[in-house]
Structure 1
Amino acid sequence: MKLTWLDSNSWLIELAGKRILLDPWLVGSLVFGNLSWLFKGEKNASRPIPEKIDLILLSQGLEDHAHPPTLKQLDRNIPVVASPNAARVVRELGYLQVTALAHGETFTLAHQIEIKAVPGSPIGPQLVENGYLLKDLENGQTIYYEPHGYHSPALKANAPVDVVITPIIDLKIPLLGSVIKGQQSALEVCKWLQPQVIVPTAAGGDITFEGLLMSVLRAEGSVETFRALLAKNHLSTRAIEPKPGEAFEVELEKRAVSL
């Protein structure tokens, strides 16, 4: 298993010989609803769009997960697996092979990787987007991804999971609460899933953010403080801090393959 963090929520996952592009924002600015005065993200370093992508995987339909300028640059023939909300975005952009997964539904890529949609982040009062469980069907290695730190208790039935990709830093708006749930939420999911490795997503990266929203957002926590939390709770999970744009092999102990 090899992972490459491409800033923000964007990842290249190499699993079972396949290359999965997850929630890609790779070109242009990140703006919500053309309101650049409210929030705007700019990458400090341009990187080439990864080649030979076997699947695009989208957890949400918002711009920081289904980023229209990036999706317009990618080959419309690449298969896409997405939340129903994100599936509408890519279909409108002309993608030809789009599978929308509701919670609990699965998709199998080339008989080698099973992708299961699980409840993820609430977007408004009636919409809950997707998290994902990815499983290498040959060796049983598993990845759980949820980009905002909202973890369904139903995940406990999938334990153990080898790798968790989720925020470990809280982003809060005073008086309103968490936009992204980090430290305690990540600790709870580590207790549930007993992962060998946890890798942070969402916060940080080689990006400059500006706009009114940035003046009120507050970040709390760090990789170091989360490692201390793991130790305090007698968890053997390793917290790995990725470097943007640099691929790394995830070293895992072998676990019995469930049949």
Structure 2
Amino acid sequence: MQLTWYDSNSWLIEMAGKRILLDPWLVGDLIFGNLSWLIKGTKKTNFPIPENIDLILLSQGLEDHAHPETLKILDRNIPVVASPNAEKVVKGLGYTQITSLAHHQTYTFANRLQIKAVPGSPIGPQLVENGYILKDLETGQNLYYEPHGYHSPSIKQDAPIDVLLTPVVGITFLGLIPFLKGQKKALELCQWVQPQYILQSAAGNDTDFEGVLTSILQPEGTIEAFRQLLTQNNLSTQVLQLKPGEPFTPELKQRNVISV
């Protein structure tokens, strides 16, 4: 398994012999609904578009996960696995091979990689987007991704999970309303699935944000504080924030899982 973080929610996941581009925002600015005055993200570094992508995986239909400018420059023939909401985005852009996954549905790609959709972030009162569990069917190594820190208790049945990609440092509106759930939920998640690694996803240092919302967004916790929480709770999980654009290969130990 090799992982490359491109800041924000964007990852290149290499596992099961496949290259999966997850929630890519790689070019242009990030603007929600053409409301640049509300919030606008600009990348400090322009990363090259990864080559030889086997699959695009989209957790949500919002612009910070299904980024229109990025999706427009990728090959429309690349297979896509998406939440039902993200399916609408890629279908409108002309992608030809789309698999939509509802919660708890699974899809096996190339007979080597299993993708399971799990309940993720609520977007409005009636829409809950996707998180994903990816599993290499040959080695048994697995990975979980949820970009806003909303973790369904249903993932306990997939424990243990080797690697988590999710927020460790949260973000709130005025310190009151969570935008990204952080320390408390990340600790609970680690207690559920006993990961070997948890890698900070979502907000990073390689993006500049401007607009009205930036004045009321506040960070919640730090990575070092989260490390201390893990130690206090007798968890050996390694917590890291990767440098954007630099590949990382986790040193995963073989687990002996006993079914009860």
Counterparts of 1:51 and 1:205, CA distance in 2: 24
Q: Which amino acid aligns with 1:70?
A: T
Matches within 5 A, 1:214-225: 214-225=214-225
Alignment match, 1:168: 168
- The SS at the match of 2:184 is helix
Alignment match, 2:198: 198
Which deviations, in whole Å up to 9, do the C-alpha atoms of 1:144-193 show, x marking residues without a partner?
00000000111111110000110001100127510110110100000000
Q: Does 1:209 align with 2:209?
A: yes
Alignment match, 2:55: 55
Alignment match, 2:148: 148
Q: Which amino acid aligns with 1:76?
A: R
Matches within 5 A, 1:223-242: 223-242=223-242
Q: Does 1:111 align with 2:114?
A: no
Matches within 5 A, 1:95-106: 95-106=95-106
Which deviations, in whole Å up to 9, do the C-alpha atoms of 1:194-245 show, x marking residues without a partner?
0011001001131111101000000121111110110011101111220000
Aligned residues: 259
The answer as to whether partners of 1:113 and 1:137 remain within 8 angstroms in 2 is yes
Alignment match, 1:93: 93
**Gapped regions of structure 1 (runs ≥ 5):** none
- The SS at the match of 2:77 is coil
Counterparts of 2:92 and 2:258, CA distance in 1: 39
Counterparts of 2:82 and 2:42, CA distance in 1: 25
Q: Which amino acid aligns with 2:38?
A: L
- The SS at the match of 1:72 is helix
- The SS at the match of 1:171 is strand
Counterparts of 1:257 and 1:229, CA distance in 2: 25
The answer as to whether partners of 1:10 and 1:23 remain within 8 angstroms in 2 is yes
Q: Which amino acid aligns with 1:209?
A: F
Distance 1:211 1:73, change over 3 A: same
Alignment match, 2:26: 26
Q: Which amino acid aligns with 1:191?
A: Q
Alignment match, 1:43: 43
Counterparts of 1:35 and 1:182, CA distance in 2: 27
Q: Does 1:70 align with 2:85?
A: no
Q: What RMSD over aligned residues (CA atoms) do the two structures have, in Å?
A: 1.2
Q: How high is the TM-score relative to the length of structure 2?
A: 0.97
The answer as to whether partners of 2:147 and 2:166 remain within 8 angstroms in 1 is yes
Counterparts of 2:149 and 2:251, CA distance in 1: 24
The answer as to whether partners of 2:175 and 2:218 remain within 8 angstroms in 1 is no
- The SS at the match of 2:129 is strand
Counterparts of 1:76 and 1:244, CA distance in 2: 26
**Gapped regions of structure 2 (runs ≥ 5):** none
Q: How high is the TM-score relative to the length of structure 1?
A: 0.98
Q: Which 4+ residue blocks in structure 1 deviate beyond 2 angstroms?
A: 256-259
| Identity, % of aligned positions | 66
Alignment match, 1:124: 124
Which deviations, in whole Å up to 9, do the C-alpha atoms of 1:38-76 show, x marking residues without a partner?
100000111110000000000000000000000000000
